[in-house]
C-alpha cells in the first residue's frame, strides 16, 4: 500500500510502498476463510439437535430467565433489549427471530411464543408485523419441555460474548423438537431446509426406536406418515421419494392447496396454500393468466384474508367445473409447489446430513446424555441432603449435650469444631446444626426432619439403579414422550393423498373445441378464423403488399400443427395457442411467435395426426433431388416445440408437403422444363437429413424453381410428355402460355 510521509511539502512527498508478501492460497483459506465458514455454520445458520439455532436459543433462554414461562406477557421491546445481553446482532434481527416463533405469525405447528398484537403472517409478504413497542409476548406452555431440566446441569453452560452472563449451549428438550419445528438456513457451502412433522407421530416414532433400536425406516414411515406443515395443504405422497427423505434427508415432495366450493356463491375459496409460497406470487400468476386469456373460467379473484384466517376467493363463470379448474390451477400456478428437503443439522458442532431415522437416533443419544446428567445432579443433591440429616440425627440422642456445647463455647469460631468433636460429625453437618434456630432445637422438629432419611435412601438407591441401567433411562424418556404427546399433541393439519390417486391435468380438456380455418402466407403471417366470423365470405387473402397465401385449410381449435421452415427446422404448436382473428386482419407473425431463425420463412404447414411409419413427408430440392421421409422420424420423447435438421440442407428446399395431401405433383426447372409424377415414385429414406435421389435431370446449371400440385388439364392439357413413371426423368418443355398461367 502506498503511504505519504508527513511533514513534507507536496513537491517533496515521498511514496513509500509497503512490502507485498506472498501467501499460499491454501494458507489464506485455512487461516482466513475457514474460521468464517465454521462461524456461520455453527453459530448462525444450521440448527442443532435441540431443533434451535443460536438466535432462537438465546431468545428463549432470555425469556425464561425473565420469568415469562409462568408470568404475564411483557412488551416485545423489553424482551429484545434483554436478549441483546446474549445476542449482540441488533434489535431488529432479534425481533424478526421472535416474530417467526409466535402464534400470531402461524409459521410453526407448535408456536414457542404466546403473543399479543400484530405479528404478520407467514403466508403473506405484505402483511407486516407491528413494531416491538406495540406487541407483547411470553413463552408458550410447550417451552416448559425445553427448560424442564435446565437447572439440573443437563447441558453445558458457557459465558456470553462479554463474560458477564452464562447461557446454555443446547436446551434439554424432552421431545425431538428438531423434527417438529421447521427450520431453514443458508450457511457457507451448505444449507438446511427441515420440514415439520406431527408432534404426536414423532413422539410415537421415537418411542418405537427406544423400544427397538433396530426399527426400520419402513416401520417408522408407518408411524410418522408424512410431513405435517403449519400451513396445512395436501401432501402428495410418493413412496419412493418419501423413503429417500426418511433415509437420507434429501429429496422433495409436492404439496398443493386445499379449497372448498361455495355452490350458493359459485366461487372457490382457497383456504390453505403450500408452505413454500405466499399469496402474492399466486395472485400475480393468476393475473398473468387472466391477461393472457388462459383463465376464462374465472370472472374475478381477490384476497379475502381476515381474522378468521387465510382465504383466496375465485368467482366462477356459469357452468365451470370447480374441480377441473383447480387441476388447471395446480398445474399453472404455485397452488401446487415442491418442498425441497435438506436435513443438515449440527451434532456436537459437526454438520451432518441425516434422514428422519438418523435424526431420531441422534436425539435419543442426546436425550440420554441430558437425562444421565440430570440424574447424577439429583443424586448429588439427595446425598448431600441425606448427609445433613444423618448429622441432625446424631444430636437427637442428646439435645441437651448440643446446647451445653454451644453455651459453654467461649468463641463463636469454636462452636463448629466443638460440635464435630462432641458428636463425631464432619464440618458440613456441624455447620448445618449450628445454623438451626434455638426454637427448633426440640425433639419434634428434629424427628420431623430425620423422618425423610429412609425415603431419601430409597430414592438414592433408585437413582443409582437408573443411572447404571440404560433401559430404565429409556423407559423414563418414553414416559416423558407419552406425557408430551398427551399434553401437546394435535391432529394432522396436512392431509395425505397418494400420488396415484391424483387426477392428471390434461390441457385439452380445458380448450374449447370448434372448427376454424387456418391460413398462412409466404411471408409467415398466420390467421385463425372461426367459421362464424367468415359469415359466408370464404375468400381469405394476404393483407400485406407483395405477400401471397401459402396454404389454407380447415382444422379444429384443439388440433396440433407441424410447420416446416426454410432453414431445415420443424416447429410444433397448437392451434389453441393463437387467438382468433378476422379474415381482413394481418394475422400473427409466425417467425416471432415461434422463435424462428432470422430470415426463415414457412414452406409447409400440416395437421398432426400421429407419427405413423406409413405416412411420409415429401421434399424436393433445388438441385433436382427428392426424398420421402416417414413421419415417424419426427417423433420425439417429449413434444418439442422445435426440431432442428428436419430435412437435408445440402441444397435449398423448393417444395415440401404431406404425401397424402397430393396425388400428383409437377416439378418445374429454371429451363422451363417440367415433369409430373406420383409422390410414391420418390425414394424412401429413414434418415431425416437424407439428400434423396435425382428426380428431374437438369443441365447447364439449371435448377428446380417450383414444386406444385398438378395443375388442371385446361392449364397444361396441350403439353405432351409431362407424366413420368421412372426416375430420374427428363422434363418436357412448357410453352410460354402455360408458364404465364402458372406464374413462372
Residues annotated as catalytic are 134
Cα(303)–Cα(311) distance, rounded to whole angstroms?
7
DSSP state for residue 723 in the 8-state scheme: B
Cα(118)–Cα(536) distance, rounded to whole angstroms?
65
Q: What are phi and psi of 707, to 5 degrees?
A: -130, 125
Residue 389: asked if its preceding bond is cis (omega within 30°), the reply is: no
Whose cell is 445440402? That residue is 650
Burial class (CB in 10 A: 0-12, 13-18, 19+), 392: buried
**What residue ranges in 149-243 does DSSP mark as E strands?**
157-159, 166-168, 183-186, 191-194, 234-237
Contacts of 407 (CB under 8 A, 6+ apart): none
For 360, the grid coordinates are 431420531
Cα(496)–Cα(466) distance, rounded to whole angstroms?
41
For 77, the grid coordinates are 421491546
Helix H or strand E segment including 547: none
Cα(275)–Cα(282) distance, rounded to whole angstroms?
13
Q: What are phi and psi of 722, to 5 degrees?
A: -80, -45
Question: CA distances (Å), 99 to each of 76, 115, 132, 138, in order?
Answer: 10, 9, 10, 12
Cα(477)–Cα(705) distance, rounded to whole angstroms?
89
User: Could you give the angle at the alpha carbon of 293 between the alpha carbons of 288 and 297, nearest 5°?
Assistant: 100
Helix, strand or coil, per DSSP, at residue 629: strand
Question: CA distances (Å), 458 to each of 228, 372, 386, 465, in order?
Answer: 44, 18, 11, 11
- What are the DSSP calls for 100-151, one per residue? HHBTTTT-SSS-SEEEES----TT-SSSPPPPTTT-EEEE-GGGHHHHTTGG
Cα(361)–Cα(367) distance, rounded to whole angstroms?
10
Question: CA distances (Å), 649 to each of 328, 461, 601, 619, in order?
Answer: 41, 93, 15, 11
User: Residue 151 pairs with which residues in a beta bridge?
Assistant: none
For 645, the grid coordinates are 435438421
Cα(149)–Cα(284) distance, rounded to whole angstroms?
49
Cα(336)–Cα(254) distance, rounded to whole angstroms?
7
Cα(79)–Cα(135) distance, rounded to whole angstroms?
11
Cα(682)–Cα(629) distance, rounded to whole angstroms?
10
Helix 470-488 and helix 356-396, axial crossing angle in degrees, nearest 10:
110
Helix, strand or coil, per DSSP, at residue 71: coil
Burial class (CB in 10 A: 0-12, 13-18, 19+), 56: buried
Question: CA distances (Å), 534 to each of 510, 516, 522, 547, in order?
Answer: 25, 10, 22, 21
Cα(52)–Cα(60) distance, rounded to whole angstroms?
10
Cα(615)–Cα(684) distance, rounded to whole angstroms?
11
C-beta separation of 131 from 91 below 8 A: no
Residue 717: asked if its preceding bond is cis (omega within 30°), the reply is: no
Which of 90, 74, 69, 65 minimizes the C-alpha distance to 165? 65
Amino acid at each position: 500500500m502506498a503511504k505519504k510521509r508527513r511533514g513534507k511539502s507536496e513537491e517533496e512527498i515521498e511514496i513509500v510502498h509497503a512490502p507485498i508478501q506472498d501467501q499460499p492460497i491454501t494458507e489464506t483459506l485455512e487461516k482466513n476463510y475457514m474460521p468464517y465458514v465454521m462461524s456461520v455454520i455453527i453459530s448462525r445458520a444450521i440448527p442443532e439437535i435441540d431443533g434451535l439455532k443460536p438466535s432462537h436459543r438465546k431468545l428463549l433462554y432470555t425469556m425464561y430467565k425473565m420469568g415469562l414461562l409462568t408470568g404475564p406477557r411483557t412488551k416485545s421491546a423489553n424482551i429484545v433489549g434483554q436478549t441483546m445481553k446474549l445476542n449482540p446482532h441488533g434489535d431488529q434481527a432479534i425481533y424478526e427471530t421472535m416474530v417467526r416463533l409466535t402464534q400470531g405469525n402461524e409459521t410453526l405447528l407448535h408456536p414457542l411464543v404466546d403473543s399479543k398484537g400484530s405479528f404478520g403472517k407467514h403466508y403473506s409478504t405484505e402483511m407486516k408485523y407491528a413494531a416491538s413497542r406495540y406487541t407483547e409476548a411470553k413463552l408458550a406452555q410447550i417451552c416448559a419441555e425445553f427448560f424442564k431440566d435446565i437447572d439440573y446441569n443437563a447441558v453445558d453452560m458457557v459465558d456470553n460474548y462479554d463474560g458477564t452472563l452464562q447461557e446454555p449451549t443446547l436446551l434439554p428438550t424432552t421431545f425431538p423438537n428438531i423434527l417438529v419445528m421447521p427450520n431453514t438456513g443458508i450457511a457457507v457451502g451448505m444449507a438446511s431446509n427441515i420440514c415439520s412433522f406431527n408432534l404426536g407421530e414423532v413422539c410415537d416414532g421415537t418411542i418405537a426406536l427406544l423400544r427397538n433400536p433396530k426399527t426400520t425406516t419402513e416401520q417408522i414411515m408407518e408411524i410418522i406418515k408424512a410431513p405435517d406443515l403449519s400451513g396445512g395443504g395436501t401432501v402428495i405422497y410418493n413412496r419412493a421419494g418419501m423413503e429417500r427423505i426418511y433415509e437420507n434427508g434429501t429429496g422433495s415432495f409436492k404439496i398443493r392447496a386445499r379449497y372448498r366450493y361455495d355452490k350458493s356463491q359459485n366461487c372457490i375459496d382457497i383456504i390453505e396454500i403450500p408452505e413454500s409460497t405466499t399469496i402474492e406470487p399466486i395472485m400475480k400468476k393468476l393475473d398473468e393468466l387472466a391477461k393472457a386469456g388462459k383463465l376464462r373460467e374465472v370472472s374475478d379473484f381477490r384476497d379475502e384474508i381476515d381474522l378468521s384466517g387465510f382465504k383466496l376467493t375465485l368467482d366462477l363463470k356459469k357452468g365451470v367445473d370447480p374441480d377441473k379448474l383447480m387441476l388447471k390451477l395446480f398445474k399453472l400456478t404455485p397452488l401446487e409447489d415442491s418442498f425441497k428437503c435438506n436435513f443438515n443439522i449440527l451434532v456436537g458442532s459437526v454438520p451432518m446430513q441425516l434422514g428422519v431415522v438418523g435424526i431420531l437416533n441422534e436425539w435419543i443419544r442426546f436425550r440420554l446424555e441430558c437425562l444421565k446428567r440430570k440424574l447424577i445432579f439429583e443424586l448429588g443433591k439427595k446425598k448431600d441432603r441425606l448427609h445433613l440429616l444423618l448429622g441432625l440425627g446424631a444430636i437427637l440422642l442428646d439435645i441437651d449435650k448440643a446446647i451445653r456445647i454451644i453455651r459453654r463455647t467461649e468463641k463463636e469460631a469454636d462452636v463448629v469444631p466443638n460440635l464435630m468433636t462432641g458428636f463425631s460429625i464432619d464440618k458440613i453437618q456441624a455447620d448445618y446444626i449450628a445454623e438451626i434456630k434455638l426454637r427448633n432445637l426440640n425433639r419434634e422438629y428434629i424427628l420431623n426432619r430425620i423422618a425423610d432419611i429412609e425415603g431419601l435412601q430409597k430414592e438414592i438407591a433408585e437413582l443409582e439403579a437408573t443411572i447404571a441401567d440404560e433401559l430404565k433411562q429409556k423407559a423414563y424418556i418414553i414416559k416423558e414422550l407419552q406425557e408430551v404427546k398427551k399434553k401437546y399433541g394435535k391432529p394432522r393439519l396436512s392431509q395425505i393423498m397418494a400420488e396415484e390417486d391424483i387426477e392428471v391435468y390434461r390441457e385439452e380438456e380445458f380448450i374449447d373445441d370448434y372448427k376454424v380455418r387456418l391460413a398462412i402466407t409466404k411471408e409467415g403471417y398466420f390467421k385463425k378464423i372461426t367459421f362464424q366470423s367468415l359469415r359466408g365470405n370464404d375468400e381469405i387473402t394476404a393483407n400485406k403488399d407483395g405477400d401471397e397465401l401459402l396454404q389454407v385449410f380447415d382444422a379444429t381449435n384443439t388440433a396440433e400443427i407441424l410447420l416446416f421452415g426454410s432453414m431445415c427446422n420443424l416447429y410444433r404448436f397448437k392451434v389453441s395457442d393463437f387467438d382468433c382473428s378476422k379474415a381482413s386482419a394481418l394475422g400473427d407473425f409466425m417467425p416471432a411467435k415461434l422463435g424462428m431463425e432470422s430470415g426463415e420463412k414457412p414452406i409447409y404447414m400440416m395437421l398432426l395426426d400421429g407419427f405413423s411409419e406409413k405416412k411420409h413427408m415429401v421434399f424436393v430440392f433445388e438441385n433436382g433431388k427428392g426424398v420421402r421421409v416417414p413421419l415417424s422420424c419426427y417423433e420425439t420423447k417429449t413434444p418439442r416445440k422445435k426440431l432442428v435438421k428436419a430435412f437435408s440442407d445440402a441444397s435449398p428446399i423448393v417444395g415440401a408437403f404431406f404425401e397424402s395431401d397430393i396425388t400428383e405433383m409437377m416439378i418445374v426447372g429454371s429451363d422451363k422444363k417440367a415433369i409430373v409424377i406420383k409422390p410414391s415414385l420418390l425414394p424412401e429414406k429413414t434418415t431425416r437429413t437424407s439428400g434423396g435421389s435425382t428426380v428431374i435431370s437438369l443441365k447447364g446449371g439449371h435448377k428446380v424453381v417450383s414444386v406444385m400440385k398438378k395443375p388442371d388439364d385446361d392449364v397444361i392439357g396441350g403439353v405432351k410428355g409431362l407424366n413420368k413413371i421412372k426416375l430420374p426423368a427428363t422434363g418436357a418443355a412448357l410453352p410460354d402460355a402455360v408458364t404465364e398461367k402458372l406464374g413462372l
